[in-house]
Structure 1
Amino acid sequence: MTTRAPAPVLPERYLLSPDMIADPYDHLDALREQAPVHWSPLHHAWLVTGYEQVMSCLRDPAVSADRVRPLMDAVPQGAREDAERAFGILSRWMVFNDPPRHRRLRRVFQEAFAARAVARYRAFTEKATRAVLARKAVPSSTGDLMAGVAKPLPALVFARWLGIPPTDGPSFWYWNTRVADLVLGTAQEESEYRASLQALVSLEDYLGALVARRRAEPGDDLISQVLREGRVGDSVSEEEFVGMLTQMAFAGGETTSNLIANTVLALLTRPDQLAAVRAEPELAQGAVEETLRLDGPSKMSIRTAARDLDLDGRTLRAGDRIFLVTAAANRDPARFPDPGRFDVRRSGATHLGFGFGAHFCIGAALARLVAVAAVRTLVCDHPGLTLADPGGLTWQPSLLNRGLTALPVHY
């Protein structure tokens, strides 16, 4: 039987309750202060909230990233018959694999995701940013920045980068939205699970056909680049490659959309920081990095103890679930001076907004490129940009993601 440490004085709070979805930070700060490694009976998981403790887990091979089985366990019984192929696809996502397989899968994309390779898309990203804003951010108008800018802009860039023909865009992004519901835990009803599972299968079928097309007709895109390097069929199978492409398709848009919206919200609610970016547009990079630290698009990642381990005086048993709460670790005062302050000029300690080590987000350079271009253009070219409904903002009910449902603004 697993030995649990005594619970802290702090009362248990359900992380998916409406008040915690709206603002989890006070509770997470208190939890980190009292018990940075805490067994939560309510979540049946360890909540790891201290920076050093999260880093220790990210470095420890005993802490496994394989969580496909828990995802499948959450599927309603009536939808299980649809799940076998879909979860086979998820098992090929490198984010759900440990070394050495994770390392082998990741190496296939390493060159394509390098900063110098991503920089080739800077001109296209800036052109796409201007085009989206010209249509959706008309001066003196009011609109939903999330729906009008934060979602379509990454979609344009990521589709171009993957080589998705514009005519295929609507289906491609519909499948991605449904896959996000499955992976991020927002699918609740059996019908929603069935739609998400089928979308993942449809996405794989589509990308498999696109790989075949790019073999015959190479282009200037990620798929063509990787095929030219000759690793598909050598270090990874075609099935593994297509499975990983479904991860690439899912991961980029959702994270980057939320990063754009969260950064704009952070600036619009802090006039001094907004003024700093407008005076020095290069500080848009600092604004994006500070958002990743203070209120980023990812609240936590889920791991499993592959074997017994000790962490900060607690004994974690093989099979235990572990929530690595980077949203709390990124506000640890032992690591970040004045951690609750949003400072676009902050330097020093490395935040964990994109993870760390072997599982550091492979698409971080592209996400940063798109987010910085969007934020810089929005705040610098739209001097009248203000929140239209500051008190009416709501957040997506997700354990993992931190994303607004909408961001109404005056342009």
Structure 2
Amino acid sequence: MTATDRALDPYLLDDEVVADPFPHLARLREAAPVHWSPANRAWLVTGYDQVAACFAEPAVSADRITPVLSQTPLHLLGPEAARAFQIMAGWMVFVDPPEHRRLRSVFRGAFGPGQIRRNRPMVQEAVARLTAAAGAGGPVTDLVADFARPLPATVAAAWMGVPPEDTADFQRWAIMVGDLALGSVQSPEETENSHRALLDLFAYLRRLVRRRREEPGADLISAALAGGLVGEEVGEDEFVAMLTHIAFAGGETTSNLIAVGVWNLLRRPDQLELLRADPESARGAVEELLRFDGPSKLSVRQVAADFALGDRTLRAGDRLYLVTAAANRDPSRFDRPDELDIGRSPNPHLGFGHGEHFCLGAPLARLVAGAALTDLLAASPRLALADHEVRWQPSLLNRSLRSLPVRL
């Protein structure tokens, strides 16, 4: 492969691309917004209109589990791995309409504005507690480990109704399941441990669901059960399987949004000062951080039936990467796309997906990230980077910092 070929077909897990994917994606988007990539063995869709069209295209399937199982039958897997795949196959993120709509209907109202607003005091208390704890550790702290990662996990546990005495186990299982789902496990032993964590989390949440039937509270599980669809439209095991996904998905996304967002703001003092001067601008800041350098780089899809996308024909069985990180900087849709502008309006980014698979937990992620930014900046007026070199987690899907040393 020549240097020109590599420039137009970057391997998305190369260290250079992981650290700064945007120049590579911009060259590819300009040359071919729909491109078959031999390096990645997938179609890379990088144009905004093309990505949005794929999110709405019936021939594009979100089911990534069935193709894996078709190549590795369950009887060839160990019992824990087979059961883990069966649970993940029930996650809404891997299910197409109309099944997706049926499963999602269980949470109608549970993610609504009223339910989210009721979480605001709990979120603000968690932000204040973690900000104080991070500041007590000395002049330099790792914002990822001490703040961005534990905050969404703490909120998710409380929001789902996990009792305080179970929170540590819940968070440990959720992190390991996230590593499995996002491809971060590095060895067969880690994979086995993650499979076991998913089974433990499923068993725990099944017990919690049954407890909440008897003792409802002001939490997500109770709100969903109150809708009356669990056991009717959706089986209990289906509901519990979806809860295992919710347990890690929002936490991972929001953690990365906070950490990468703070990193970007600290490197752009003008935008940081705008946010400090007007905390009400946090809502717009969160949307712009999602667009500019959001926590999700791409969504994986499968072509279920041949269809045309622009002048290209995609064939059934092809793998498809909807590269939202590129689409969100498409100059045909965004003015000055490579500039961070927390006042940008309108801002029709695809950071939470689009259409039927738009992220169910987006309202809570917005609430937590907005509170984290405003309260952290208020509590740390001298917040600054302690090291301008950062390390990135090698991930196809996520934009994730390994650590972020800051001075408080």
Per the alignment, residue 68 of structure 1 pairs with: 65
The 3 A distance-change label for structure 1 pair 27 and 135 is same
Instruction: Name the SS for the 2:352 alignment partner.
Output: coil
Please show how residues 12-411 of structure 1 align to structure 2 within 5 Å.
12-70=9-67, 80-81=77-78, 82-138=80-136, 141-391=139-389, 393-411=390-408
Give yes or no for contact 1:72–1:83 (8 Å, CA) kept in 2.
Answer: no
Instruction: Name the SS for the 2:397 alignment partner.
Output: coil
CA positional deviation for 1:241:
0.5
CA positional deviation for 1:176:
1.2
Q: 1:402 and 1:47 mapped to 2: Cα distance?
A: 17
What TM-score, normalized by structure 1, do the two folds share? Answer: 0.95
Instruction: Name the SS for the 2:83 alignment partner.
Output: helix
Q: 1:80 and 1:11 mapped to 2: Cα distance?
A: 38
Q: Deviations over 1:264-290 (max 9, x none)?
A: 111100000011111111112222111
State, as a whole percentage, how many aligned pairs show the same letter. 54
Give yes or no for contact 2:66–2:89 (8 Å, CA) kept in 1.
Answer: no
Instruction: Name the SS for the 1:390 alignment partner.
Output: coil
The 3 A distance-change label for structure 1 pair 199 and 29 is same
User: What residue ranges of structure 1 are gaps of 5+ in the alignment?
Assistant: 1-6
The 3 A distance-change label for structure 1 pair 72 and 189 is farther
AA aligned opposite 1:320: D
The 3 A distance-change label for structure 1 pair 344 and 11 is closer
Give yes or no for contact 2:385–2:406 (8 Å, CA) kept in 1.
Answer: yes
User: Which sits farther off after the overlay, 400-409 or 279-288?
Assistant: 279-288
The number of equivalent residue pairs is: 404
The 3 A distance-change label for structure 1 pair 9 and 199 is closer
AA aligned opposite 1:13: P
CA positional deviation for 1:211:
0.7
Q: 1:375 and 1:70 mapped to 2: Cα distance?
A: 40
CA positional deviation for 1:78:
12
Q: 2:7 and 2:264 mapped to 1: Cα distance?
A: 29
CA RMSD of aligned residues (A): 2.0
CA positional deviation for 1:10:
4.1
Q: 1:171 and 1:118 mapped to 2: Cα distance?
A: 24
CA positional deviation for 1:217:
1.4
CA positional deviation for 1:138:
4.0
Q: 1:349 and 1:129 mapped to 2: Cα distance?
A: 27
CA positional deviation for 1:327:
0.2
AA aligned opposite 1:154: P
Instruction: Name the SS for the 1:113 alignment partner.
Output: coil
CA positional deviation for 1:343:
0.3
CA positional deviation for 1:38:
0.3
The 3 A distance-change label for structure 1 pair 35 and 68 is same
Give yes or no for contact 1:309–1:315 (8 Å, CA) kept in 2.
Answer: yes
Q: Deviations over 1:160-180 (max 9, x none)?
A: 110011111121111111111
Q: Deviations over 1:21-59 (max 9, x none)?
A: 111110001000000000011211100000000011011
CA positional deviation for 1:8:
6.9
CA positional deviation for 1:116:
2.1
Give yes or no for contact 2:297–2:398 (8 Å, CA) kept in 1.
Answer: yes
Instruction: Name the SS for the 1:38 alignment partner.
Output: strand
The 3 A distance-change label for structure 1 pair 241 and 43 is same
Instruction: Name the SS for the 2:317 alignment partner.
Output: coil
Give yes or no for contact 2:281–2:343 (8 Å, CA) kept in 1.
Answer: yes
CA positional deviation for 1:117:
1.5
CA positional deviation for 1:349:
3.9
Q: 2:9 and 2:329 mapped to 1: Cα distance?
A: 20
AA aligned opposite 1:314: R
The 3 A distance-change label for structure 1 pair 327 and 79 is farther
Q: Deviations over 1:232-252 (max 9, x none)?
A: 011101011001110110111
AA aligned opposite 2:15: P
Per the alignment, residue 3 of structure 1 pairs with: none
Give yes or no for contact 1:8–1:34 (8 Å, CA) kept in 2.
Answer: no
Q: Deviations over 1:97-141 (max 9, x none)?
A: 000000000111121001222111111111221111111124972
Q: 1:108 and 1:372 mapped to 2: Cα distance?
A: 27
- Greater than 3 Å deviation, 4+ residue runs: 7-11, 69-75
The 3 A distance-change label for structure 1 pair 332 and 170 is same
Give yes or no for contact 1:8–1:35 (8 Å, CA) kept in 2.
Answer: no
CA positional deviation for 1:12:
2.6
Instruction: Name the SS for the 1:322 alignment partner.
Output: strand
Q: Deviations over 1:355-377 (max 9, x none)?
A: 01100000000000000000011
CA positional deviation for 1:390:
1.0
Q: 2:33 and 2:8 mapped to 1: Cα distance?
A: 14
CA positional deviation for 1:188:
2.9
Per the alignment, residue 4 of structure 1 pairs with: none
Q: 2:71 and 2:144 mapped to 1: Cα distance?
A: 29
Give yes or no for contact 1:309–1:317 (8 Å, CA) kept in 2.
Answer: yes
Q: 2:311 and 2:350 mapped to 1: Cα distance?
A: 23
Give yes or no for contact 1:258–1:402 (8 Å, CA) kept in 2.
Answer: yes
Give yes or no for contact 1:140–1:384 (8 Å, CA) kept in 2.
Answer: no
What TM-score, normalized by structure 2, do the two folds share? Answer: 0.95
Give yes or no for contact 2:8–2:28 (8 Å, CA) kept in 1.
Answer: no
